Structure 1
């Protein structure tokens, strides 16, 4: 009996025990459905979010002080050179010169642990205060839900105005109270609220912009009494394909402003900004791991069920195995027959599971937000590979047991 005949015999056996095949295949299909369905839904939701934020942050790069920790670095026993921080006037000068290439925003974190007051109400000392200009929210992709952005006059003269996150509003204002044009105070200064940001949520931990206050960067520079603030410029390139070229231009502009000599290394650093797409990919990666784990556990249960059914099949067909061995079938051919049966059942269940998984995954993704129909070819291939592995793993022991049966004893069975 060659391999092709063994495959045909396995298919005939599957067809002869149709009800058992359907029930066993359904067990496998449920596992594959959970695996493919969750992964399809995750990819579909991610694709919709990426489409909503298409290009956000993809063309941006930061010009900032060299070395973000502020500590003296030691490498190979040598103290690394410490460069002066990018000053406010240098950042503004860069922004003005770079304006012929593309828009940019100057900002600096004043503190990450400020206590905000409104009358007798106080917040916890965990509010971040950032000095920004009027282009910051557009370049960073942050929307203002109520109120307005800073005006040119407020940016130029550094007026005591601010834009706040929703967590700050919920902490300091009661329900039904309008925060616009009301006052809050910190560092002994009173600021007028001119805008409230849209709720951002957090990606990868942290409050994000929800627990933050933004003030004009000129105003923030006045709070820098010791000259320790780190100013950063986020520039927006015109085209992702020209980003490296524009980063080179930015390097030339900043070297001129910082008066870096020819042959000396840059006294600042330029790095590509972390885009929303990269953050989403990181979160989606964690979700995929969770979905794959749940699907794998379901498939493990299905594999145990398949092994149990194959063991019953070996017991039921003991006499048939004895006849095959008496006619010259080798233990290898007997093992092949039962392994092929297990794999065929898994593949049939896998086909059903993939179809159901794609359908359910797209339904879930489109229920959350309208989008197209996603066919996850990678997960389809993974699903079928898993089906074959499950078939081999769950069918090997029953097949080995069948190949070890004594033909004389098998013919006496029943």
Structure 2
């Protein structure tokens, strides 16, 4: 092959003004570097694959971490909408790990459903109140059946007719129970979409209205079906629930006015700031509980921001661990690529001398070896991306509700990491190759 003095590419006329242009020279260098890199990869397949192993692991790890964090973000946003951004939950226990202080919380007095009525009176008497409505809820678990089909440990919510005004899930078919049905304790039930699928497989929501189901061997009439909501972070389903009147639950399941599972759901007006609403709830609830000035609150005002405060450190921990693993893997990969590039330069010293002797520029030699290093890293990046995609498919099979997904940004990140690693690890060997003197290189044994 004949190399030109101007570009080191074959069959190029150095007197051609187009060939002498910087853009044309760069194009020729890149084309020739790509050809030589391809030849080297084909000639040393196993060596190239082993060299790229660190990059493969690094890209694989960073993509999986990105997929996981994206899934957490998506699941968290969906879950916030299920909890309600403008909803507060007044309960005995906080939505956080209380550690050894659990005894303090367990000793708090149980809630009574009448607290909701008293809170509503205070809200109505407060000028320019930022709160809209307080609704009592009692949560418990029971099995539910219909014919030959049954499902266990369903989350039941016993509440009043006002719950239909504040529930975050709309009614897909049917209706909510009325105030008369709630106060008289009628045996009516509203099913979540998950319960519907378990008890009436293959039937649509409209077709089950008016049918009977059994809750702890007691007949209930289905009057409504909730829209599908999904699962909290893809794990705990919001669709495996049912809603019945509070009066009915008192007759058959929870008994009395006091129950350990009672909580009060308070909804604020959209324009009211969260902290302003929280302060108003605390003041009103202290009046309801008869607390004196200086006494600690014996209740907790929970909201979706408590979940955010819990999930935030988890996401940060995953990100830090992932980036540490990625950084170590890429560092090891970069050292391996740098080492193999040094070996390649040494093996081809005579070739470099020959090319320099016939007029190849230093930049052409630099581009060639840099391109080879980047090619190995890109190969590793593509393999890592493929492995991450396969891992994501496996995750979908084991956790189908977890909202994990690829994104263009993650793919761009994989390519960027690969190219950057190739440039950083290959630059020094490529620079040394470009500085070799032709005479010394040709005498190299």
> Is the 2:373–2:422 Cα contact (8 Å) retained in structure 1?
no
How far residue 407 of structure 1 moved from its aligned partner, in angstroms, is 9.6
Relative to structure 1, the CA distance from residue 301 to residue 148 in structure 2 (aligned partners, 3 Å threshold; closer, same or farther) is farther
- Is 1:164 aligned with 2:180? no
Name 1:117's counterpart in structure 2.
145
C-alpha RMSD of matched pairs (Å):
6.0
* 1:132-163 alpha-carbon deviations (Å, 9 max, x no partner): 33454664521222111222332343322110
How far residue 129 of structure 1 moved from its aligned partner, in angstroms, is 1.5
Name 2:390's counterpart in structure 1.
none
Name the SS of the counterpart of 1:142 in structure 2: coil
TM-score (norm 2): 0.59
Name the SS of the counterpart of 2:237 in structure 1: coil
Name the SS of the counterpart of 1:254 in structure 2: helix
Name 1:214's counterpart in structure 2.
243
- Is 1:229 aligned with 2:273? no
- 1 CA distance for matches of 2:159 and 2:216? 18
* 1:33-76 alpha-carbon deviations (Å, 9 max, x no partner): 9988996999699789969987972233221124689x99659x
How far residue 238 of structure 1 moved from its aligned partner, in angstroms, is 2.7
Relative to structure 1, the CA distance from residue 74 to residue 64 in structure 2 (aligned partners, 3 Å threshold; closer, same or farther) is closer
Name 1:316's counterpart in structure 2.
348
Question: In the TM superposition, what are the counterparts of 1:55-94 in structure 2 within 5 Å?
Answer: 57-66=84-93, 82-94=107-119
Name 1:192's counterpart in structure 2.
221
> Is the 2:131–2:277 Cα contact (8 Å) retained in structure 1?
no
The 10-residue stretch of structure 1 (57-66 or 257-266) with the greater mean CA deviation from structure 2:
57-66
- 1 CA distance for matches of 2:101 and 2:83? 37
Name the SS of the counterpart of 1:85 in structure 2: coil
- Is 1:265 aligned with 2:265? no
Relative to structure 1, the CA distance from residue 225 to residue 133 in structure 2 (aligned partners, 3 Å threshold; closer, same or farther) is closer
Name the SS of the counterpart of 1:125 in structure 2: strand
Relative to structure 1, the CA distance from residue 190 to residue 229 in structure 2 (aligned partners, 3 Å threshold; closer, same or farther) is farther
The 10-residue stretch of structure 1 (199-208 or 41-50) with the greater mean CA deviation from structure 2:
41-50
- Is 1:150 aligned with 2:185? no
* 1:259-279 alpha-carbon deviations (Å, 9 max, x no partner): 011111112111222599899
Relative to structure 1, the CA distance from residue 45 to residue 206 in structure 2 (aligned partners, 3 Å threshold; closer, same or farther) is closer
- 2 CA distance for matches of 1:91 and 1:189? 28
- 1 CA distance for matches of 2:151 and 2:79? 34
Name 2:157's counterpart in structure 1.
130
Question: In the TM superposition, what are the counterparts of 1:10-409 in structure 2 within 5 Å?
Answer: 14=30, 16-20=32-36, 57-66=84-93, 82-98=107-123, 100-112=129-141, 114-118=142-146, 120-121=147-148, 123-136=150-163, 139-173=166-200, 175-176=202-203, 178-204=207-233, 206-222=235-251, 223-225=253-255, 227-239=258-270, 242-273=273-304, 311-312=343-344, 314-318=346-350, 320=352, 341=370, 345=374, 384=416, 387-393=419-425
Relative to structure 1, the CA distance from residue 105 to residue 344 in structure 2 (aligned partners, 3 Å threshold; closer, same or farther) is farther
Relative to structure 1, the CA distance from residue 268 to residue 47 in structure 2 (aligned partners, 3 Å threshold; closer, same or farther) is closer
Name 1:364's counterpart in structure 2.
none
Name the SS of the counterpart of 1:247 in structure 2: helix
How far residue 232 of structure 1 moved from its aligned partner, in angstroms, is 1.7
How far residue 131 of structure 1 moved from its aligned partner, in angstroms, is 1.0
Name the SS of the counterpart of 2:131 in structure 1: coil
Relative to structure 1, the CA distance from residue 384 to residue 107 in structure 2 (aligned partners, 3 Å threshold; closer, same or farther) is same
* 1:90-139 alpha-carbon deviations (Å, 9 max, x no partner): 13322443365333453434422x22233x53524322221133454664
The 10-residue stretch of structure 1 (249-258 or 152-161) with the greater mean CA deviation from structure 2:
152-161
- 2 CA distance for matches of 1:47 and 1:136? 27
> Is the 1:61–1:235 Cα contact (8 Å) retained in structure 2?
yes
Name 2:46's counterpart in structure 1.
none
Name the SS of the counterpart of 1:17 in structure 2: helix
Count of aligned residue pairs for this structure pair: 365
* 1:188-211 alpha-carbon deviations (Å, 9 max, x no partner): 532211011223332335552322
- 2 CA distance for matches of 1:56 and 1:251? 20
Relative to structure 1, the CA distance from residue 273 to residue 49 in structure 2 (aligned partners, 3 Å threshold; closer, same or farther) is closer
The 10-residue stretch of structure 1 (305-314 or 165-174) with the greater mean CA deviation from structure 2:
305-314
